[in-house]
Amino acid sequence: MTDTVSIIIWSFLGSLICAAAGFAAFKSAPENIAKLEKLTRNRYLGLVFGWFALFVCVPHAGAVAPGFLLPFLYPLAVITPILGFFFVDYPASRAVSGTLILCAYYLIHLAFDHKVTATALFAVCGWSIGAFAVWCSGMPWVWRDIFRRCSKNSRFRLVTAIIFWLFAAVFASFAGAALI
């Protein structure tokens, strides 16, 4: 995959996830909190994002995996999300957080690789998004708790939505900054 294509894909995906999280936070209200809580436990969303994230990770894992494991990486990438579908709680939260970790990784990597003007801004935003995503991956109920808090406090709802939308703007602007 060329750098231009990866910039467009990862910038778009990161922007889409952050914009959707901002929209969900903004729309959090006591009357629709049940829908948002179910969204964090959606098994089909977790399956799709899990497959995507693991298939992207396989080439990276090939560099550090022992030689006997290399032929099994793609089959494991197929089987693992299916097992998560049946046995993991909050599969959507975990898979979306994992995909957001990948988006943050590519944001940092490509920012330094292309030496864009605002490399420090992209790096700090990438590290912030990555740290948040690692935290949400380890404790997947955090997404649910954010939506609950947003439904109870309008000020927190607005601030959370704005933060996610700013991160979405950073992801979206990265493609333009790297291509200039």
HSE-CB of 14 using CA atoms within 13 angstroms: 32
Phi/psi-derived region of residue 90, left when phi > 0, alpha when psi is between -120 and 50, beta in every other case: left
| Tens digits of residue pLDDT in 112-154 | 877 767 788 888 888 999 999 999 999 999 999 999 999 999 9
Question: What's the domain count of the chain?
Answer: 1
Q: What is the DSSP letter of 71?
A: G
CB 11 within 8 A of CB 174: yes
Residues of the domain holding 148: 3-179
The tens digit of pLDDT for each residue in 64-87 reads: 999 899 999 999 999 999 999 999
